[in-house]
Amino acid sequence: MATEVISPIQGINKPYADTKDGEQKTEYGGITQIPDAQHDIHIIHLARWAVDDYNKETESSLKFKRVVSAKKQIVSGINYYIILEATDHAGHHKKTYEATVWEMNSRELLDFKELHHH
């Protein structure tokens, strides 16, 4: 089964081949969906870290609830685009956010924003 890579440069979808060891080969710069991200321990860890970092930077008190989905982009390191749900400090008012986390030897929260559904 061919997997599609969303290429921000060409703006088209390109399939990529599986390597010999079963790992999927990702085109440099392409953004790929992370399958079953809501159960991926590393993605959940990054999402919790993103909420904690956002809280520290903004003196907020969001509480992480769950990962909805995630994508990754291979750059110098990896950019993770994580859709997550969090609630306010009292546990009410669940909202959806997108966290952008860059990771290599360390990690940095590049962006954290509420997603508004229309």
Considering only CA atoms, which of 79, 70, 88, 86 is closest in space to residue 108? 79
Same domain for 53 and 98: yes
Whether pLDDT at 8 is above 50: no
Whole-structure pTM value: 0.72
pLDDT tens-place string over residues 60-93:
999 999 999 999 999 999 999 999 999 987 778 8
For the chain, the maximum distance between any two Cα atoms, rounded to a whole number of angstroms, is 49
Same domain for 104 and 50: yes
CATH number of domain containing 92: 3.10.450.10
Same domain for 104 and 90: yes
pLDDT for 10 equals 36
Same domain for 56 and 24: no
Considering only CA atoms, which of 33, 32, 63 is closest in space to residue 47? 63
pLDDT for 27 equals 59
What does 15-66 look like in DSSP terms, one character per residue? EE-B-TTSPBP--TT-EEE-TTGGG-HHHHHHHHHHHHHHHHHHT---EEEE
Same domain for 92 and 48: yes
Same domain for 11 and 67: no
Range of the domain at 11: 1-28
pLDDT tens-place string over residues 59-68:
999 999 999 9
pLDDT for 26 equals 52
What is the total count of domains within the chain?
2
Whether pLDDT at 44 is above 60: yes
Same domain for 24 and 38: no
Same domain for 18 and 39: no
